[in-house]
């Protein structure tokens, strides 16, 4: 890798901004209120869900509705390993296990289903969430004779740091995956799968592995957030809304740039925090209207809008500025 | 009659009763998904709207629930028709290819689901609602069924067959079938494709709305009831074969009977059984039983 890339102006300034932001975020529990910590934890949760959904579905073009399944698997891993009675495992180990179990399930599901094209894949993954939920409900009622589980309480700052660590790991993974040969292979599958296969790319392998990596992060985030929810049942853990929220946030932000899904997640997670408790029906109504509106009027999302505005300004600025940019 | 035979009859007729509603819902989705290429996640919300419209018309204005079919049908058709004219036609024209349109229109219908459902929650509240109509038993060879369930079955089969004849015999039906096979060629043959697709979407919504009216006769209704029926409809449409109206009709009865059998053995597993059948089917034969 060329070292000058890291010292050039284009790289240095965003680099410094990101570093300062990261330091500010990592010491957040030391200087801000508990409410702020919990709010940022929720925002991070949505960012991780959204970015990990976009990691696979963005470049490959396969619309996955399985996010809620992997998220739920993570939640249930926590629920089983961190009961509020009995032996308790360390949080980090549980989080890692939640991720690994989701990863393995995604590998199996991926090998079975990723040969389904287009909308069939979406339908299948949608069914997966409901199937797991129904079987779990049956299992809890008939085999274990329980309904729902309580999870041991974990310190809020602790949850926050774990969430932040998953977030940083995810952003690094996304960044380097996009630039790697592997990421380019995924991109070419999204553009034309047959052509990619003819170029010698093992299309099934690339798709399944990326799908599983994105599932790992969803499982990890589920295992983390479960400790804040304290009570879990199949309806809470496997809520289809968690399949659609990340998609809305990603599309709202825009899929063409790495920061698009982050932007969308931050805005929506904040809106949810403000509106959901006071006006739940109005919040969900707004959610629906924005989803339809974005699909209809803002196909490139906020990123697309920003790029369009920039291009317009550049055109007005004349040729001088255009030269400076090239 | 021996006890065993009564039990078999009970399951068979129960399955047919459930299947009748399923068949209607699935035929509606088949029009929207198979012909208009909109995988309508909000399909069940039209069922819910039909059910609540009937509930309100009957309990507030005292109109006979079966008569409300005639009032609700045209209104829901117009809603569906204008939705397609404004929203989906625009999406279809701006989409770069068929796959992109399938994805964007499906996400848009998910937004619609939340809009319709939460408007209904604001209007009617989250409680279960029910009314009683034709609620007396009819003895059929030893097994007893509520009269409203038998009426439901009769109407479901009647509407389903009437609709099938409309598709098979009328000129508009021919245009719809042409659009289902190949939209581009249909357009070259002089079919006004945007109009036909909008009519399809509207008719699909009508089927859902009428099914909702019939459902409200026999089960309690809530604004969040829709999604389960949407999922069942999707399963049947895939089971019967994409775009095959008879496939959806027959598939509805098949799933209704399977569901009743499973519910007889283990009630909490009937939805799981649907998903299981569906996922195996998607893997083994994604074109469906009647698909080409």
The stretch A199-209 carries a mean pLDDT of 88
Query: Considering the domain boundaries, does residue B129 fall inside one?
Result: yes
Mean pLDDT of A14-20: 84
Residue B73 lies in a domain: yes
> Given CB atoms, is A142 within the 8 Å cutoff of chain B?
yes
Reply yes or no on whether the pLDDT at A326 is more than 50.
no
pLDDT for position B267: 74
Q: Which of A111-115, A200-204, A206-210 has the lowest mean pLDDT?
A: A111-115
Question: What does the pLDDT read at residue A19?
Answer: 86
Q: Which segment of A161-165, A194-198, B213-217, B286-290 scores lowest on mean pLDDT?
A: B286-290
Residue A23 is assigned to a structural domain of this protein: no
Is a pLDDT exceeding 70 seen at residue A158? yes
Is residue A206 one of the residues assigned to a domain?
A: yes
What's the start-to-end Cα distance of chain B, in Å? 43
For A248, name the nearest residue in chain B, comparing CA atoms only. Answer: B107
Buried b (16+ CB within 10 A) or exposed e, B39-76: bbbbbbbbbbbbbbbbbebbeeeeeebbebbeebbeeb
Q: By the CB < 8 Å criterion, does A16 face chain B? A: no
Count structural domains, chain A: 1
In a domain, A5, yes or no: no
The residue of chain B with its CA nearest to that of A136 is: B272
Q: For residue B238, what pLDDT band results from cuts at 50, 70 and 90?
A: confident
B202 is a domain residue: yes
Average pLDDT rounded to a whole number, residues B166-181: 86
Number of separate domains in chain B: 1
Report the candidate in A241, A242, A267, A243 with the shortest Cα–Cα distance to residue A254.
A267
**Is A123 within 8 Å of B39 when comparing Cβ atoms?**
yes
Which of A127, A240, A292 lies closest to B112 in CB terms? A292
C-alpha dist (Å) from residue A252 to A270, A306, B89: 14, 12, 21
Question: What pLDDT sits at residue B120?
Answer: 93
- pLDDT confidence of residue B116: 94
| Phi/psi of residue A279, nearest 5 degrees | -130, 75
- Structural domain harbouring B172: 26-223
In chain B, residues with a C-beta closer than 8 Å to the C-beta of A135 are 272
Q: Which residues of chain A make contact with B87, given a CB cutoff of 8 A?
A: 292, 296
pTM for the structure as a whole: 0.83
Size of interface A-B (CB pairs under 8 A): 110
In a domain, B18, yes or no: no
Is the pLDDT at B150 greater than 90? The verdict is no
CA angle at A230 for the pair A227 and A235, rounded to the nearest 5°: 105
- Would you say residue B229 lies in a domain? no
| Chain A residues closer than 8 Å to B107 by CB | 244, 247-248, 251, 291, 295
Instruction: Determine whether the interchain pair B108/A123 forms a contact, defined as Cβ–Cβ distance below 8 Å.
Output: no
A118 interfacial to chain B (CB closer than 8 Å): yes
Give mean pLDDT, residues A147-169: 86
Residue A81 pLDDT? 84
- In a domain, residue B30? The reply is yes
Q: What is the mean pLDDT of chain A?
A: 84
The pLDDT confidence band at residue A221, using thresholds 50, 70 and 90, is very high
> The domain containing residue A93 runs over which residues?
32-325
A7 in a structural domain: no
> Of the candidates B106, B112, B283, which has its C-beta nearest A112's C-beta?
B283
CB contact under 8 A, A130 and B275: yes
Of A75-84, A208-217, B38-47, least confident by mean pLDDT is A75-84
User: What SS3 class is residue B144?
Assistant: strand
- Interval B73-125: pLDDT, tens: 999 999 999 999 999 988 888 888 777 788 888 889 988 998 999 999 999 88
Please give the residue of chain A at the shortest CA–CA distance from B228.
A130
What is the percentage of chain A residues whose pLDDT exceeds 90?
A: 20
* CB-closest option in B107, B114, B238 to A247: B107
> A134 CA to chain B: closest CA distance, Å?
6
Q: Is residue B204 part of a domain?
A: yes
Report d(CA B210, CA B76) in Å as an integer: 9
Tens digit of pLDDT for each residue in B195-205? 989 999 999 99
């Amino acid at each position: 890798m060329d070292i000058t890339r890291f010292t050039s102006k284009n790289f240095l300034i965003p680099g410094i901004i990101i570093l300062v932001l990261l330091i500010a975020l990592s010491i957040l529990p030391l200087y801000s209120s508990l409410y702020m910590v919990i709010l940022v934890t929720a925002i991070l949760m949505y960012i991780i869900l959204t970015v990990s959904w976009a990691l696979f579905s963005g470049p490959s073009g396969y619309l996955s509705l399985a996010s809620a399944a992997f998220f739920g698997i993570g939640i249930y891993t926590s629920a089983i390993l961190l009961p509020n009675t009995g032996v308790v495992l360390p949080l980090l180990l549980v989080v890692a296990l939640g991720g690994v179990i989701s990863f393995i399930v995604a590998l199996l599901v991926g090998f079975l289903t990723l040969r389904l094209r287009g909308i069939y894949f979406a339908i299948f993954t949608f069914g997966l969430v409901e199937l797991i939920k129904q079987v779990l409900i049956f299992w809890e009622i008939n085999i274990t004779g329980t309904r729902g589980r309580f999870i041991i309480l974990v310190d809020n700052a602790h949850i926050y740091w774990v969430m932040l660590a998953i977030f940083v790991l995810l952003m690094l993974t996304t960044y380097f995956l996009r630039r790697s040969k592997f990421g380019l292979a995924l991109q070419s599958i999204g553009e034309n799968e047959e052509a990619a296969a003819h170029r010698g790319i093992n299309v099934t392998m690339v798709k399944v592995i990326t799908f599983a990596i994105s599932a790992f992060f969803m499982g990890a985030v589920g295992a983390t957030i479960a400790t804040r929810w304290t009570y879990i049942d199949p309806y809470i853990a496997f809520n289809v809304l968690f399949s659609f929220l990340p998609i809305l946030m990603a599309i709202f932000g825009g899929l063409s740039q790495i920061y698009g899904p982050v932007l969308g997640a931050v805005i929506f997670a904040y809106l949810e925090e403000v509106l959901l408790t006071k006006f739940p029906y109005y919040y969900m109504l707004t959610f629906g209207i924005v989803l339809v509106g974005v699909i209809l009027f803002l196909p490139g999302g906020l990123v697309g809008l920003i790029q369009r505005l920039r291009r317009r300004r550049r055109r007005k600025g004349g040729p001088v500025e255009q030269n400076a940019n090239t | 009659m021996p006890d065993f035979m009564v039990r078999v009859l009970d399951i068979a007729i129960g399955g047919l009763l459930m299947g009748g509603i399923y068949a209607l819902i699935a035929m509606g989705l088949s029009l929207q998904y198979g012909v208009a290429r909109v995988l309508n996640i909000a399909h069940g919300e039209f069922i819910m709207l039909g059910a609540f419209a009937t509930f309100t018309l009957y309990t507030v204005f005292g109109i006979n629930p079966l008569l409300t079919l005639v009032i609700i049908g045209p209104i829901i058709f117009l809603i569906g028709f204008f939705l397609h004219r404004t929203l989906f036609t625009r999406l279809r024209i701006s989409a770069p290819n068929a796959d992109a349109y399938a994805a964007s229109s499906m996400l848009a219908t998910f937004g619609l689901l939340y809009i319709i459902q939460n408007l209904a929650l604001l209007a009617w509240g989250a409680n279960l609602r029910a009314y009683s109509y034709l609620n007396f038993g009819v003895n059929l060879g030893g097994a007893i069924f509520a009269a409203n369930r038998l009426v439901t079955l009769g109407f479901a089969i009647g509407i389903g067959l009437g609709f099938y004849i409309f598709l098979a015999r009328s000129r508009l039906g021919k245009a719809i079938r042409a659009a289902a096979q190949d939209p581009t060629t249909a357009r070259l043959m002089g079919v006004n494709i945007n109009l036909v697709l909008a009519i399809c979407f509207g008719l699909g919504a009508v089927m859902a709305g009428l099914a909702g009216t019939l459902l409200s006769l026999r089960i309690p209704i809530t604004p969040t009831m829709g999604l389960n029926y949407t999922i069942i409809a999707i399963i049947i449409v895939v089971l019967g074969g994409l775009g095959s109206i008879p496939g959806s009709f027959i598939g509805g009865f098949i799933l209704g009977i399977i569901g009743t059998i499973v519910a007889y053995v283990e009630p909490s597993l009937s939805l799981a059984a649907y998903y299981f059948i569906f996922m195996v089917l998607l893997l083994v034969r994604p074109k469906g039983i009647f698909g080409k």
